[in-house]
Amino acid sequence: MSRVLVARLDSVGDVLLAGPAARAVANGRRADGGSPNDVVVLCGPQGESAARLLPEVSDVFAWDSPWITNPAPPVTGQRVDSLVGFVRNSRITEAVILTSYHQSPLPLALLLRLAGVERITGASTDYAGSLLDVRLRPGEDFPEDQPEAVRALGIACAAGFRLREGDDGKLMVKDPPDVRNLVGEEPYVVVHPGASVPARAWPPLHHAAAVELLEGAGHRVVVTGGPGETELTATVAGPSGIDLGGLTDLQSLAGVLARAEAVVTGNTGPAHLAAAVGTPVVSLFSPVVPAVRWAPYGVPLELLGDQNAPCRLSRARICPVPGHPCLGSVSPEQVVDAVARLISGVSSLNTRRKVRRR
């Protein structure tokens, strides 16, 4: 059994989107009779919790990359040696480097070569020389306007790996835990108001108004958020929403999302976690990155937000347009209507699938 590195040097959502590619690598090559592989996921520190939720992953190594992380850590011999030493000592002979359209696999490929990795696959617009054994040319060998999960799976397939028969290539996580002690037995809608960067956040008072309207429409509402978002979740939950701010880690959040009828969130990690547990998503999506690539994949979806706003494709972390019109223009009433469509099964985007957990 070979040990193959699957690299996605990013955070929670990016790593979850790499899951289908990791499963393909674990399944092995058809030419080798489908002999399975040990998969080692290399990710950023913020993505480690997500990597540990992926099925068919044997090991995880978190490394803070100087060319991916923002703000960037310094480049030091100690930092480089920690990665090279891990790879060398882990008997890894092959690597599949997964990147987005604005990232290069070449810095990591160089370090992996120094660590003794014999075969490396990646997608690069730049000449790769001897750094890549299998090089895909974005925009030539595959279209860039496709979901990130499909892009990543395509890179794994170019390396010769294939999903096992019956695997539909959607997002998955290991079995979410039972969280009824947190959310109770009755149906509910999740509202996750936080976002990784301000440009992707719907205003807090809009969230709070949506929670009131959802409750007025007869829904129980659960508000989720991380340890640093407790003030935000308390504001959004109000006096009658269930405030779970700071009370869940990523695994228990998966359990909360899996039991929900629908999830309201921005373009952030929990949107992809909801997709991984098969829950419909109302996506408050700022067009600073393209929705065709980054919208929740493979579940019923209501995409809200002006996708042609002036901030379109800017990759801005702070909104560059006064008034944040791409999301500020979305009303709480529109969110409630979108939730109703998803729960009734009339959403036109994607087809609901049964929750699949491993």
The average pLDDT across 103-114 equals 97
Q: What is the pLDDT of residue 252?
A: 98
How confident is the model over 28-74, as pLDDT tens digits? 986 666 678 999 999 999 999 999 999 999 999 999 999 999 899 99
Q: Residue 24's closest CA among 174, 164, 150, 149?
A: 164
Compute the distance between CA of residue 62 and CA of residue 130 in angstroms, rounded to an integer.
Answer: 26
Burial 253-285 (b: 16+ CB within 10 A, else e): bbbbbbbbebbbbbbbbbbbbbbbbbbbbbbbb
Q: What was the pLDDT predicted at 351?
A: 42
Strands in 134-136's sheet, in edge-to-edge order, are 59-62, 38-43, 3-8, 94-97, 119-123, 134-136
pLDDT, tens only, 122-155: 999 999 999 999 999 999 999 989 999 999 999 9
Q: Over 90: is that where the pLDDT of 227 sits?
A: yes
Q: Given a cut of 60, is residue 337 above it in pLDDT? A: yes
Q: What share of the chain is helix, strand, coil (3-state, %, to 5)?
A: 35, 15, 50
